[in-house]
Amino acid sequence: MKLIYIGDIVGRSGRTALMAHLPTLKERYSPDFIMVNGENAAHGFGITEKICKQFFEAGVDAITTGNHVWDQREIINYIDDERRLLRPLNYPKNTPGQGAAVYETKSGKKILVAQVLGRLFMETMDDPFVAIDQVMAEHQLGDDIHCAVVDIHAEATSEKMAMGHYLDGRVSMVVGTHSHIPTADYQIFQGGMAYQTDLGMCGDYNSVIGMKKEAAINRFTKKIPGDRLSPGEEESTLCAVYLETDAKTGKATRFDQIRIGGRLSECLP
């Protein structure tokens, strides 16, 4: 199976990059499944039904979110009916939406996608390790599912890497989101699982993690109320990963970074 996961979409610049470069990625790699993290797609804060539908129409198969999932309140009424939109798995019971789902590709392959929210330097949540164990107890890689992807949306690199090693051999890929900076540690672990601490973002990198520099700097240098953060508006870089898995075992056979456009060096494996 071939899969592309595109990092956090930040504002209009990030959405523009996705729409501009996704056709190239589809033609170059012919992926069976395409994912994006969309929690910052709506002017940097949350996602809307309209944006979700734009992504789906462009060929996206699943959208993950994160700690900003509820920033656009309209999504609360939408997420229960749209199983292609996921929120973190370890929110309290009875939270709208779902944190994991099994999807079927056009070729009939089944892929499990799950997302958990980290707890270090983040808001208090249920244990992400327990939450993902409960999901994996119901599925077996290489048996009832052909591929399994886990997104850990977290601040601490240690927590992301711990989750990766915890799931090695049980899932196809663990990747981190939230930090908006692509890390250089993409690799395949000993148990056959692809891992990268952070995918990076689709957004303006002449910024502070996607937001205009001036307002962000003021938050660090002044102790007075300042302008609300807003996304950068210059040319965007699209950051993603490309995964290939073994048809029988579901383990990773190839794992590469993708970067296109904007200020970062291009990487098209």
Give the catalytic positions in this structure. 68
As a whole number of angstroms, the distance between CA 105 and CA 33 comes to 7
* CB proximity list for 255: less than 8 A, separation 6 or greater: 173, 186, 187, 188, 194, 196, 241, 242, 243, 244
What distance lies between CA 178 and its chain's CA centroid? 8
* CB-based contact 94:116 (threshold 8 Å): no
Burial class (CB in 10 A: 0-12, 13-18, 19+), 222: exposed
**Which H helix or E strand runs over 23?**
helix 11-29
* CB-based contact 39:7 (threshold 8 Å): no
As a whole number of angstroms, the distance between CA 196 and CA 243 comes to 11
As a whole number of angstroms, the distance between CA 167 and CA 190 comes to 11
Q: What is the number of helices (H) and of strands (E) in the chain?
A: 6, 13
DSSP string, 84-127: TB---TTSPTT-SS-SEEEEE-TTS-EEEEEEEE--TTS---S-
CB atoms closer than 10 angstroms to residue 124? 6
As a whole number of angstroms, the distance between CA 179 and CA 138 comes to 30
